[in-house]
Structure 1
Amino acid sequence: MKQLEAWKTSQNRKPLIIRGARQTGKTWLSEEFGRTRYEAVARIDLMNNERARSFFDGDLDVSRILRNISLETGVPITTDTLVLLDEIQECPRALTALKYFCEDAREYHVIATGSYMGIA
């Protein structure tokens, strides 16, 4: 948790990717961190939610993507919301979108989790 706290408070924070084998606690760790350190967590599962994958179709406008995530989760997204993109390997465009979160929206806290990303 100390490393996640350092990431949260970093002036140069970028979207964080947590990767590893399946069923090792990546999602649990991210959700627990969000639950205890943020006002809210907006989590979308890109493996089980086809509609959520479609948020990354077309342009990768961060404002549009965040609005869609907020509508899907029912969580207003502020700078004190953890945006959790779970199973990101299932949506290559979501992985690409992390670049735009980094360049255009560093004020938002984004964690992506994924399994077998080197294979996908």
Structure 2
Amino acid sequence: MKLLRRKTDQFLKKWRENENRMPLIVKGARQIGKTASIMQFANSNYKNVVAINFVLQQKYKAIFDEGYDVDSITRALTFIDPFIKLEQGNTLIFFDEMQDCPACATSLKAFKIDERYDVICSGSLMGINYREIESNSVGYKEDYTMHSMDFEEFLWVKRYTSYFHVKSGISLR
């Protein structure tokens, strides 16, 4: 199912094309389409997608119990679900609702240093509590704030093309 076109789609595409990409944290208000946009991107751009929702799948919080190195985390993932496929360069690990698992944020430095798998996290701005995070992985992650649909995105959905012709001819001072 094709979802609405969002500005976030363009950002995610550029993020994927960056050879030096870092784990990405997509923040934003609740119910604005973070998960749907990320999953649509993931399924279109990766052979394997490991999607974990820390609210709905509480057992996955334990994947960080043995430490934050990528081998320990991936071993714990495949122990919980032996059908998970992890292939270097072709796998996106998506940690959804990261505000319910502060250890997730600490692991991002290890994923950046390791570079076998791409990682995207998402969370509600209301719920991310940085005081509970052991180490915030500064310099090893990229933050992106997603907003609710704006007027331009609405016009894309409605296929109002004349607006864009007018917009390109207007100069704002």
Decide: shared fold, TM above 0.5.
Answer: yes
Q: Which has the larger radius of gyration?
A: 2
4+ residue runs over 4 A deviation: none
Structure 2 residue aligned with 1:102, among 85, 108, 112?
Answer: 112
Gaps of 5+ in 1: none
Structure 2 residue aligned with 1:22, among 4, 20, 30?
Answer: 30
Distance in 1 between residues matched to 2:127 and 2:22, nearest whole Å: 20
Which residue identity does 1:88 align to in structure 2?
A: M
Output aligned runs, 1:1-120, within 5 Å: 1-73=9-81, 74-78=83-87, 79-103=89-113, 105-116=114-125, 120=129
Per-residue CA deviation, residues 3-50 of structure 1 (Å, 9 max, x unaligned), is 212211212111000010111111111100011111121101111222
Cα 1:68–1:18 change in 2 (3 A) is same
- The root-mean-square deviation of aligned C-alpha atoms, in Å, is 1.7
Cα 1:23–1:60 change in 2 (3 A) is same
**What is the TM-score with the length of structure 1 in the denominator?**
0.88
Which residue identity does 2:47 align to in structure 1?
A: E
Gaps of 5+ in 2: 1-8, 130-173
Indicate conservation of the 8 Å contact 1:15/1:111, yes or no. yes
**What is the TM-score with the length of structure 2 in the denominator?**
0.63
* TM superposition shift of 1:72: 3.9
